Every structure is written in structure tokens, then in C-alpha cells.
Amino acid sequence: MNRPVAVITGATSGLGRVAAFELARQGYRIGAVARSRSRAEALVADLKAVTDEPVDIFRADLGLISDARSVGEEIAASYPRLDVLVNNAGLHAFAQRVTAEGFAEMTAVNYLGPFVLTEALREKLGASAPARIVNVASEASRQAKAISPAEDLRRIDPYTRRESMSLYGRTKMMTIMWTQELARRLDPEQVTVNCCDPGFNATGLGRDLPGSAVLQRVLNTLGIGDPRKGAGIIVRLASDPAFASTSGGYFSVRDARPLECPEPGRSPRVQRELWEATMTLLATRPAD
């Protein structure tokens, strides 16, 4: 297999779908992690218009730690090398839902699943040097006013639609914190890791929100929240030579402007605390 390989989560719609097409056009073989078989099959069919390379589908629910770990092992065994991992799949839930494993679904999908998937692929990425990891965060992270890692990872309290924004923001702040701590633990000459704010994107807008489908159609008609803009920064971090030696950054959809992690999660000390709390949480889970 001579082509570079890019694995993308959440590639069947929105930002991930656009990023998959752009990376395929650049010559990458695409591996897509997806929950829906029908959407995955549609992605494969549509990508045939831009690439002759096979498109590989890995089915998993990244809201489940067991799925994230097993699909990571499956991906590692499927390729002789892995050049790019894009952790794009995400969720804004407007009411609390708890997974079968006992975690808040939004925390599991937005943070724990990507963390576990990345850990499962670290060895493969390192052996494929130079390789890149791109994590999709959000400026919604600024809605998070505080963080207590050990408690927040386990928190499953009910919340209102209004309260959901700060909780969603906290999961995205965790993504930035994890990215920057992971960068300190990786050799940037082997694997870089960066995250981005893709801006406002209408696709998949608040699937739980009443009337969201109608609102999305209106925004699409007006050209507001075009996912091609948000996908652009993902693709740049994944493939642009200008970012080849950059690691630990957080970049805006607006001209790749560097951003800072919001203050509650900015210090290396609290980022390390989140890492350690996450590893402790995962270590106490029963074996799959």
C-alpha cells in the first residue's frame, strides 16, 4: 500500500465527510469510523467519484469505551502504516443520557472515546512517523468556567437545555487540554497532535433540538455554517507541510490563528491532572 492513510471519525456527515473528500483528493486512503452502516455505505459510494483507492469502514460506537478500544485495535491491525488520525465525531446532547458503561454520553463521545481510540493507535502512529493527530475542539470551550477532572469525568447529573452549553463546552475544553498534554508526551519528530475550532457549522446542528432539521435547511439555504469552511482547518492540520513540525497547538478556522485553551484548563498542571484522572478511570474499568 503506497498511499498515505487517514482515519477519520464522524466521516459520514458534516465536517468529517468534507474532510474525507478533501484528503481523498490529496491521495490519502480513507478509513472511516462510523456507527451507521447505511451512511457508511453511502460515503463509500460517493468517494468513488474522487478516488480509486479502497475506502475502509470500521463500525463502532465511540460513546462506548469498549468499542473505541476494539476498533482502535482493528484499525492498527488493518494497515501497515497510519499517517493521520482525525478525531472529529462529536455530540451536543440537550439532556443527560448515560451510556451502558455508566458515563455521560456527551463526555464519552466527545472526550473519552477519542482518548481511548488514540491510545490504541499510538504505537501504530509512532511506527509510521511522521504522523499526525487532529482533534476537533470548539470555542464553545469558553463556556466552561471551571473544571475538576476526577469529578467531572464521572458526573452524570441531569441538566437542562440551557445548562447543556457549558457542559458541552467543558467536554471540548477537555479535548484541548488532552491535546496539549498528549503533545508533551509525544516526540514531535514522530507524531504531532493539534486541535482546532472549526467555527459554527450547520450540519448535524443539535440533533436533539426540536426544529433543528428545519433550522439547518434554512441556514444551508442562506450559506451560513458551511461545513467546507470548518473542514478546511482540519485538512490543513492533517496535511499541510506548514504544520508538519507543529504540536500542541489550538487553531482557529479563521486563517489558522493560534488560540489559547480557556483559563480553567490552561495550565500544564491541570492538564496533567486530567490525563491522570482519565487514565485512572480507564484502569478501574472491568476488562472488556
Cβ pair 203, 13 in contact under 8 A: yes
The tally of CA atoms less than 13 A away on the side-chain side of residue 32 is 30
Asked if 79 is an active-site residue, the reply is no
Cβ pair 243, 267 in contact under 8 A: no
* Backbone φ and ψ of 231, nearest 5°: -70, -25
N-to-C CA span, the chain: 32
| CB atoms closer than 10 angstroms to residue 122 | 18
Strand partners, 258: 251
List 28, 111, 159, 168, catalytic entry: 168
Strand partners, 5: 29
Element of type H or E holding 136: strand 131-136
Strand partners, 196: 136, 251
What amino acid positions are annotated as catalytic residues? 168
